[in-house]
Structure 1
Amino acid sequence: MHEAEKLVRELTPDQLEQWLEQAGIRTERCGDCDGYHFAELEAMIEGMECRLFLEEGALLMTSEIEIRPAAILPAVAEMARLNIEYSNIKIFVDLNDNAMPHLVMGDTISWRAGMNFEQFITFVQETLNGIQLVIEECGRLGYFLLEEDEPEMMH
């Protein structure tokens, strides 16, 4: 049996880091959220967070991006279509009284029955690709707050 086919029954942070390194995917382990940040994807848009979390029995990948307040209604109106078009990614708008609205995307995969390297890397790559496509489409739709959109401070 090849190493890539070996079924891991108990996924650990060490195993996760080994697989990420083996796949050539650069991440940074965060001390604040205990997630693995994908710096290359986060660099696409300022303020974006894209992370992989090792949860009890599952892997969770999430990405959050601030959207313009004026884009809330158009974004919410597009959610059904976006969730159908990108069916492996769950997409929603998060509204909070104390923060800018966010577009949140995520996916999970259970590892309770075991997981091998091929399953892991397929999940990570497909999710990252799907998130990137959603970001590109939402960028074309004008949902994101760009630096030139920010109001100038009066002196």
Structure 2
Amino acid sequence: MRWLTAGYIDHYICENCHGIHLSELQGQDGVLESRLFVEHEDAILTTEIEVRPTALLALVADLGRLNMNYPSLKVFVDIVDDNLPRLIVADYLHTQAGMDQPQFLWIVQQTMMATQQLLLEITELGFLMQDDEPQKTPSAVH
């Protein structure tokens, strides 16, 4: 957390998880959570983005291209029965061999920039769930 503060990356810890939330990404439209999880041998940066259910098929078809365009990120879809589909954007850092502050900050900043670019792209493609979009309740077909 000291390194994030030194790098002027806004963050906070919530009471519901042990992740460090990244305020800059979490404040973007469509982003549900953006967190950094630090473990003994690694660190994982994840961002969860809410996806329009009607865009799910096109998004899944485009995942290969998105993963190729953003090689430092792992991009995949998470679908849970009672929630809207989510696009998960992740980056994994090996820390066991050691990492210094400038290296860590560079990797975190590059991951955040790539995630923001990806978010812009999926917004332009119409995959992102917009706040002004009405949520439709399923209706029975007779």
Normalised by the size of structure 1, how large is the TM-score?
A: 0.83
Higher helix proportion: 1
In the alignment, the residues of structure 1 paired with residue 135 and residue 43 of structure 2 have an alpha-carbon distance, to the nearest angstrom, of 39
The residue identity in structure 1 corresponding to 2:105 is I
Please give the per-residue CA displacement for 1:87-132, whole angstroms capped at 9, x wherever unaligned: 0000011111121100100001111011101111111011101111
Matched length: 137
Moved over 6 A (4+): none
Higher relative CO (Cα under 8 Å, sequence separation at least 6) belongs to: 1
Which segments of 5 or more consecutive residues in structure 1 lack a partner in the other structure? Answer: 1-16
Moved more, 58-67 or 30-39: 30-39
Matched, 1:42 2:26: yes
Moved more, 100-109 or 36-45: 36-45
- Identical-pair percentage: 35
Matched, 1:119 2:119: no
Deviation of residue 147 (structure 1)?
2.4
Higher strand proportion: 2
RMSD of aligned alpha carbons: 1.5
Find the structure with the greater CA-based Rg: 1
Match of 1:3 in 2: none
Which segments of 5 or more consecutive residues in structure 2 lack a partner in the other structure? Answer: 138-142
Relative to structure 1, the CA distance from residue 74 to residue 54 in structure 2 (aligned partners, 3 Å threshold; closer, same or farther) is same
Residues 30 and 129, structure 2, Cα contact 8 Å, conserved in 1: no
In the alignment, the residues of structure 2 paired with residue 102 and residue 152 of structure 1 have an alpha-carbon distance, to the nearest angstrom, of 17
